[in-house]
Amino acid sequence: MNEETPKSTDMQAIEEPMIEIIDMHKWFGEFHVLRGIDLTIHKKERIVICGPSGSGKSTLIRCINRLEEHQRGKIIVDGIELTNNLKNIEKIRAEVGMVFQHFNLFPHLTIVDNLALGPIWVRKVPRKEAEEAAMHYLEKVHIAEQAHKFPGQLSGGQQQRVAIARSLCMSPRVMLFDEPTSALDPEMIKEVLDVMIELAQEGMTMIVVTHEMGFAKSVAHRVLFMDFGQIVESNTPEEFFENPQHDRTKLFLSQILH
Amino acid sequence: MDAYVQDKPAEELKPPVASVGLIGWIRANLFNGWFNSLLTIVTLYFLWIVVPPFIRWAFIDSVWNTTGAVCRNADGACWSIITTNFRFILFGFFPYDQQWRPLVAMLLLFGLLFYSRNRNHWTKGLGYSWIAGLVGMGFLMKGGLFGLPSVESTQWGGLPLTLLLSVFGLTAAYPLGVILALGRQSRMPAIRLLCVIYIELIRGVPLISLLFMGSIIFPLFLPEGITINKILRAQAAIILFTAAYIAEVVRGGLQAMQRGQYEAAESIGLNYFLTMRLIILPQALKIVIPPTVQQLISAFKDTSLVVIIALFDLLKTSQTVLSNPEWMGFSREAYIFVAILYFLGCFSMANYSRKLEKELSTEN
Amino acid sequence: MGAPFFNFSDIKTLLRIGPTRSQKVTNRKVPTVADKKAMQTENSQAEKVPFWLDPKMRAIVYQIGTLCMVGLLAYYLVSNTLINLERQSIATGFGFLHKESSFEIGESLISYSAASTYGRALIVGALNTLLVSFIGIILTVILGTVIGIARLSKNWLVSKLAAIYIEFFQDIPVLLQLFFFYALFYEILPSPRQALHPFAGVFLCNRGLVFAIPEFHLTHAYMGISFLAGCIAIYFLRRWARRRQAKTGRTFPVFSVSVGMLVLLPGITWLAGGAPTAMSVPELKGFNFQGGVNVSPEFSALLLGLVLYTAAFVAEAVRAGIQAVSKGQREAAMSIGLRPNRVLQLVILPQALRVIIPPLTSQMLSLTKNSSLAVAIGYPDFVSVANTTINQTGQSIEGVALIMLVYLIFSLSTSAFMNWYNKRVKLVER
């Protein structure tokens, strides 16, 4: 990782809360997957969530943009509460961008069309403007030359960068990343992480579920450890990795940092 | 932004009552939103006006073992048409006292089928048992040896005939279909052309035209004096028809084979026949077992068409009963019975195919 | 599997059994001493391979052998056939098409009588086949799509009923279903004199479904024209709406406006033409109805049986197509903020249709082929008419050949269409 990457000292998170989760519970049938989550994420803050599989970390961020529904508690995104109110859900989804583990690009559309789809049909932007914005973001993720290809013709790393650009086209206030590099071959992980670091440098609020600890150390304001549906420990990266407090945190770190 | 360490683990709570259990299930599956709720109500109403009258007709008011005259006076279904004519519907014109023979033949077939369900039983021994079984079935039907009186094929009918046509049809069509599929993949243009013409021709025409060809035109192909009986003609048409469809199914399997398999076989030095026999076909045929079972189901259903060329399969025997003045007008009951038989056969085969598909996909 | 195994220059080379291919190339230049030496070694090397081990030679032998066998078989069959035909005094050739048919056909789209030729009779049959197939395909696609979507519904009751329908109708032979419905119509429905009379002008009896239709008036022709004009207008409306959206981003409710236009334009034309309401109402005269339109029980039974049977298979194809689109696609589309109807229109349907259309076209073909079963219940489709022709003229070979030809035309054009469609929508991959 680039040692000169700006850290929390350079890009201070603003004290205003962006996302508030208050005593949130979720069940899958009888299984209590999220147990009493209390979490506040401030503007421009970058959080990394780690934990063993099954701990509920993906479910947690999927609840934020209503891909999963929570049964108890409150989730408030940028002042709008997340309920069954369809209008609120739509507003929140326009503010929250998501990058998936398996990219989920639309295979029947070109790269440019993939990016322009949201602005054209949701924000009602004219096609020319949408395509210019698309090219701008494609250049940002260093993939502009592939603009007129189809997703099937790109490598995994390229597809994921396009997926990031696609979310950025909607000008979100928060970006959620659900294990963005887990499905990539090792040599392609760096190109995606570099893009995410650039994004961080520009002040984007980010919640990243990942196992890439190097990324956490260099860019995150906070690292959260989740296990069995609860947040077990939360601290700055230095404290988290040097001085884990909870036993389960220590166990988890010993398993992944061998 | 403060550091946080959990002090005690959160307890596992029970989910809200309205989201689990019976109430939760009903809410999620039947009344999820206003549209679904409306749909449920409309569907329940529709079931209410259709199902009880049907049950009343089929079971409550039905008559079960009487003569035709009594049936006509009754309100409900006349199942007596089935019970009284049971043996004729099932066995056709087969001599009454010899009907144990087709019965045993069918039981033999069902036994073999049942045993073959478990894939662990699929050994060479089973293959030989099948051949022996099929020969045995043919012998039981025909007779003529070991003191069994000979029964002409013109008297074969009913369910045994249907099963015979399907099983022998598929058994003979399978090797022919595999050869056609290999021929279609061949690099020799003449052979490929012949196979393509055959396959596309047969797949493009309805089975009925092939049955007509079989029953009317095949006799013209033979020199004077030689005749083949009607069943054989129909069987030949069914075999030719099914072989083309099997060829397409097998072709799918051959195309799904990775190039690497062919290359590996070539590099060991196997010639074409050994490659196919030892490497390619075993894998390709295994991949396409589910579509092949689908073909068996289709062949089973398609045998019903022989009614049109006046062979006495299950459908025709039922129609013969219906043409008897005593039982005229009870088509619904007769056809429902035949439908149940076909449904049982096809459903069990379809279920088996689904089960196989699951097994095979998890294996690969 | 590698380079072309067999090409024309090989034939020439092999048949000449002379210089090898490499020699032909070197022969073009003036041979130097070195070349001559090379030629000699190559010649001797080529001669060393005996011809029965040469794969190219063997391929030719196999093919010639197969063609000879097929040819001999064909010759044997044909000569037997000709002898047999001669013996039974059956004519050959298609001259019978011009002879008088002397049989009636129950229903026909064009005028036909027993004095018309066999050729005309066959055309009537073909038109009937097309009629039942065309209507059958439209109804099947609609019903099959509804049931396929119902199968995926979150509503347990609806989903289970759809599953029962699919399993039930797939597992019963179509011919049995045809017989069932035909018998149902004949046995349950009363004679014309006691026909059921559910609504004014509609009668249901064992001669068929008879209902009133508007008597033909010039306005109807104009209504047809205005409908067509509406279709053309919709085409241009869509283009305009798309352009406007590309320019300004604003969407236009094209669908609702189109539906409105297709209803209003003919409606206005009708009013303008004086709102003619004269109907040809069926009336019982003697033993049957006169006037109105009669949909025979044969046609109804055939249509009902075919549609219910094929719709079960179409439903499975639709379900498989929709399920083939991975869940992640829906999630990605939703997280961009697209509404459910746009998700369906822009992301799900385009991908699902790619998977649905090929099996759908083969089901359409299957329905057309199954319509040949009309011969069993007496509907005069092509096979039925051809069968009567064969029975009367004895020319079975020509008859069966005609049947096969007609259906082959249907099948091959459907295959061609499917190939074209598949090529067009193929997802581009590395």
Res B30 pLDDT > 70: yes
Which chain A positions have a beta carbon within 8 Å of C353's beta carbon? none
User: Nearest chain C Cα to A89, which residue?
Assistant: C337
Reported as a pLDDT band with limits 50, 70 and 90, residue C264 is: confident
Q: A81 CA to chain B: closest CA distance, Å?
A: 20
> Residue C334: its chain A contacts at CB < 8 A?
67, 93
User: In the prediction, which pLDDT does A130 show?
Assistant: 93
How far separated are the first and last CA of chain A, in Å rounded? Answer: 18
Q: How far is the alpha carbon of A132 from chain C, nearest alpha carbon, in Å?
A: 13
Q: Which residues of B touch C73 (CB under 8 A)?
A: none
Token pair listed for B144: 């003529």
Cα radius of gyration (chain B): 28
Provide the pLDDT for residue A4. Answer: 44
- pLDDT at residue B148 in the model: 77
Residue contact C63–B191, C-beta within 8 A: yes
Most C CBs within 10 Å, among A82, A106, A153, A170, to test the C interface: A106
Query: According to the 3-state scheme, what is the secondary structure of chain C?
Result: CCCCCCCHHHHHHHHHCCCCHHHHHHHHCCCCHHHHHHHHHHHHHHHHCCCCCCHHHHHHHHHHHHHHHHHHHHHHHHHHHHHHHHHCCCCCCCHHHHCECCCCCCCCCCCCCCCCEHHHHHHHHHHHHHHHHHHHHHHHHHHHHHHHHHHCCCCHHHHHHHHHHHHHHHCCCHHHHHHHHHHHHHHHCCCHHHCECCCCCEEEECCEEEECEECCCHHHHHHHHHHHHHHHHHHHHHHHHHHHHHHHCCCCCHHHHHHHHHHHHHHHHHHHCCCCCCEECCEEECCEEECCEEECHHHHHHHHHHHHHHHHHHHHHHHHHHHHCCHHHHHHHHHHCCCHHHHHHHHHHHHHHHHHHHHHHHHHHHHHHHHHHHHHHCCCCHHHHHHHHHHHHCCHHHHHHHHHHHHHHHHHHHHHHHHHHHHHHCCCCC
DSSP structure class, residue B301: H
| Shortest alpha-carbon distance between residue C417 and chain A (Å) | 21
Residue of A3 and A114 predicted with greater confidence:
A114
Say which residues have a Cβ less than 8 Å from residue A169's Cβ, sequence separation at least 6.
Answer: A115, A116, A118, A119, A130, A133, A134, A137
Q: What confidence tier does A12 reach under pLDDT thresholds 50, 70, 90?
A: low
- Look-up of token digits 């409606």: C267
Residue among A45, A71, A222 whose CB faces B16 most closely = A71
% of chain A at pLDDT higher than 70: 95
Spatial CB neighbours of B40, under 8 Å, sequence gap ≥ 6: B30, B31, C155, C157, C158
For residue B5, the SS3 value is strand
Q: How many CB atoms lie within 10 A of CB C232?
A: 9
Q: Which long-range contacts (CB under 8 A, 24 or more apart) does A126-130 make?
A: A126/C245, A126/C246, A126/C247, A126/C248, A126/C249, A127/C245, A127/C246, A127/C247, A127/C249, A128/C246, A128/C247, A129/C249, A130/A169, A130/C249
pLDDT > 80? residue B8: no
Question: If pLDDT is split at 50, 70 and 90, which confidence band does C12 have?
Answer: very low
Please, which pLDDT band fits residue B180 given cuts at 50, 70 and 90? Answer: very high
Please provide the average confidence, as pLDDT, over all residues in chain C: 82
Q: Which residues of B touch C411 (CB under 8 A)?
A: 200, 203-205
Over residues C104-129, mean pLDDT: 86
Chains that touch C (3 or more CB pairs under 8 A): A, B
Query: Letter for the amino acid at B52?
Result: P
Helix (H, G, I), strand (E, B) or coil at B229: coil
Q: Which of residues 71-110 of C touch B (CB under 8 A)?
A: 77, 80-81, 83-85, 87
- Give yes or no for residue B269 having a pLDDT over 90: no
User: Is the model more confident about B305 or about C425?
Assistant: B305
pLDDT of residue C194: 75
Structure tokens at B196: 């393509």
The pLDDT value recorded for residue C39 is 55
Given a contact cutoff of 8 angstroms between Cβ atoms, the answer to whether A106 and A187 are in contact is: no
A167 part of contact set with chain C, CB < 8 Å? yes
Helix (H, G, I), strand (E, B) or coil at B96: helix
Q: Do C167 and B305 touch (CB under 8 A)?
A: no
Within 10 A of B27 (CB to CB), how many other CB atoms are there?
15
Query: Looking at the DSSP assignment, which residues form a beta bridge with residue B192?
Result: none
Q: Is the pLDDT of residue A134 over 90?
A: yes
With cut-offs at 50, 70 and 90, classify the pLDDT of residue C15: very low
Q: Which residues contact B5 (CB under 8 A, 6 or more apart)?
A: A232, A233, A234, A235, A245, A246
Q: What is the torsion angle, in degrees rounded to the nearest 10, for the CA atoms of residue C86, residue C91, residue C93 and residue C97? A: -170
Q: Is the pLDDT of residue B240 over 90?
A: yes
C376: chain B residues, CB-CB within 8 Å: 307-308
CB contact under 8 Å between A100 and C328, yes or no, is yes
- Residues of chain C contacting residue B36, judged by C-beta atoms under 8 Å apart: 153-155
Angle ∠(A197,A202,A208) on CA atoms, nearest 5 = 45
pLDDT of residue C41: 52
Q: How far is CA B112 from the centre of its chain?
A: 15
Mean per-residue pLDDT, C41-66: 72
Touching subunits for chain B (3+ Cβ pairs under 8 A)? A, C
Query: Does residue B22 sit at the A interface (CB-CB below 8 Å)?
Result: no
- pLDDT classification of C37: cutoffs 50, 70, 90: low
With an 8 Å Cβ cutoff, are C172 and B332 in contact? no
What is the number of other CB atoms lying within 10 angstroms of the CB of residue C150? 22
The arithmetic mean of pLDDT across residues C345-365, rounded, is 89
C236, with CB counted inside 10 A (0-12, 13-18, 19+), is exposed
A-chain residues within 8 Å CB-CB of B9?
228, 230
pLDDT in tens, A194-203: 999 999 999 8
A70/B contact by beta carbon, under 8 A: no
CB contact at 8 A, C417 and C360? no
Q: Give the one of C248, C336, C429 whose C-beta lies nearest to A152's C-beta.
A: C429
Confidence of residue C38 (pLDDT cuts 50, 70, 90): low
More confident of the two residues B287 and A97: A97
Interface touch B4/A35, C-beta < 8 Å = no
Nearest C-alpha in C relative to A66: C335
Residue A105 has pLDDT above 90, yes or no: yes
Cα–Cα distance between C269 and C263 in angstroms, integer? 11
Using only the alpha carbons of chain A, give its radius of gyration.
Answer: 18
Which pair of tokens denotes residue B123? 């050994």
Among partner residues B5, B10, B15, which is closest to A245 by beta-carbon distance?
B5
Nearest to B15 among A71, A229, A233 (CB): A71
- Provide the 3-class DSSP secondary structure of residue B72: helix
pLDDT for residue A6 is more than 50? no
Give the CA distances from residue C258 to residues C45, C269, C342, in Å, rounded to whole numbers and listed in that order: 77, 17, 18
DSSP conformation letters of chain A:
--TTS--TTTSPPPSSEEEEEEEEEEEETTEEEEEEEEEEEETT-EEEEE--TTSSHHHHHHHHTTSS--SEEEEEETTEE-SS-HHHHHHHHHHEEEE-TT----TTS-HHHHHHHHHHHTS---HHHHHHHHHHHHHHTT-GGGTTS-GGGS-HHHHHHHHHHHHHTT--SEEEEESTTTTS-HHHHHHHHHHHHHHHHTT-EEEEE-S-HHHHHHH-SEEEEEETTEEEEEE-HHHHHH---SHHHHHHHHHH--
Is A153 within 8 Å of chain C by CB? yes
Which residue in B has a C-alpha nearest to residue A40's C-alpha? B1
Residues C379 and C125 sit within 8 Å (Cβ to Cβ): no
Query: What is the mean predicted confidence (pLDDT) over C354-378?
Result: 90
Report the distance separating Cα C38 and Cα C151, nearest Å: 74
Q: Is the pLDDT of residue B20 over 80?
A: no
pLDDT of residue C151: 93
- Nearest residue in chain C measured CA to CA from A102: C328
Tell me how close the Cα of A245 comes to any Cα of chain C, in angstroms: 36
**CB-count exposure of residue B351 (10 Å: 0-12, 13-18, 19+):** exposed
Chains contacting A (3 or more CB pairs within 8 Å):
B, C
Spatial distance between the Cα atoms of A6 and A17, rounded to a whole number of angstroms: 22
Choose between C13 and B30: higher pLDDT.
B30
Please say if the pLDDT value at position C281 is more than 90: no
- For residues B210 and C407, is the Cβ–Cβ distance under 8 A? no
**Cβ-based contacts of A25 with chain B (< 8 Å):** 13
Burial of C53 (0-12, 13-18, 19+ CB in 10 A): exposed
Q: Cβ contacts (< 8 Å) between B319 and chain C: which residues?
A: 179
**Chain C residues within 8 A (CB-CB) of chain A?**
245-251, 326, 328-329, 331-339, 342, 346-347, 350-351, 354, 425, 427-430
Q: How far apart are CA A36 and CA A26, in angstroms?
A: 8
pTM equals 0.82
| Any C CB within 8 A of A72 CB | no
pLDDT at B155: 82
pLDDT of residue B268: 85
pLDDT digit string (tens) for C166-217?
Answer: 999 999 999 999 999 998 888 877 777 777 777 777 777 777 777 777 777 7
Query: How far apart are the C-alpha atoms of C267 and C251, rounded to whole Å?
Result: 27
Q: Model confidence over C310-346: pLDDT tens digits?
A: 999 999 999 999 988 989 999 999 999 898 888 988 9
Chain A residues lying within 8 Å of B7, measured CB to CB: none
Nearest neighbour of B12 by CB, restricted to A32, A72, A236: A32
CB-CB neighbors (< 8 A) of C407 in chain B: 204-206, 209
- The reply to whether C157 touches chain B by the CB within 8 Å rule is yes
The shortest CB-CB distance from A230 to any of B3, B10, B20 is to B10
Question: A233 to chain B: which residues are within 8 Å by CB?
Answer: 4-6
Tokens of C150: 């119902």
| Residue C56 structure tokens | 């190219």
Report the alpha-carbon distance of residue C430 to residue C54 in Å, rounded.
38
**Minimal CA separation from B13 to chain A, in Å:** 7
Q: What is the nearest CA distance from C323 to chain A, expressed in angstroms?
A: 15
In angstroms, the Cα distances linking A233 to A38, A245, B4, B55 are 12, 8, 6, 64
Question: Which residues of chain A from 6 to 65 reach within 8 Å of chain C, CB to CB?
Answer: 65
Tell me, yes or no, if A71 comes closer than 8 A to chain B by beta carbon: yes
Our measurement of the distance from residue A82's CA atom to the centroid of its chain's CA atoms, rounded to an integer in Å, reads 18
Lowest mean pLDDT among A94-108, B29-43, C281-295, C302-316: C281-295
- Is residue B9 within 8 angstroms of chain A, CB to CB? yes
- Whether residue B219 is predicted with pLDDT greater than 90 in this model: the reply is no
H or E element, residue B246: helix B230-256
Q: pLDDT tens digit string along A236-252?
A: 999 898 888 888 899 99
Contact indicator for A163, A105 with CB cutoff of 8 Å: yes
Query: CA angle, C220 as apex, C216 and C225 as ends, to 5°?
Result: 145
What size, in residues, is chain A? 258
pLDDT tens digits, residue range B284-307? 888 888 888 888 899 899 999 998
Instruction: Evaluate if residue C17 carries a pLDDT over 70.
Output: no
Q: Is B69 an interface residue toward A (CB < 8 Å)? A: no
Ramachandran category for residue A49: left, alpha or beta (phi over 0 → left; psi -120 to 50 → alpha): beta
pLDDT band at C36 (very low <50, low <70, confident <90, very high): low
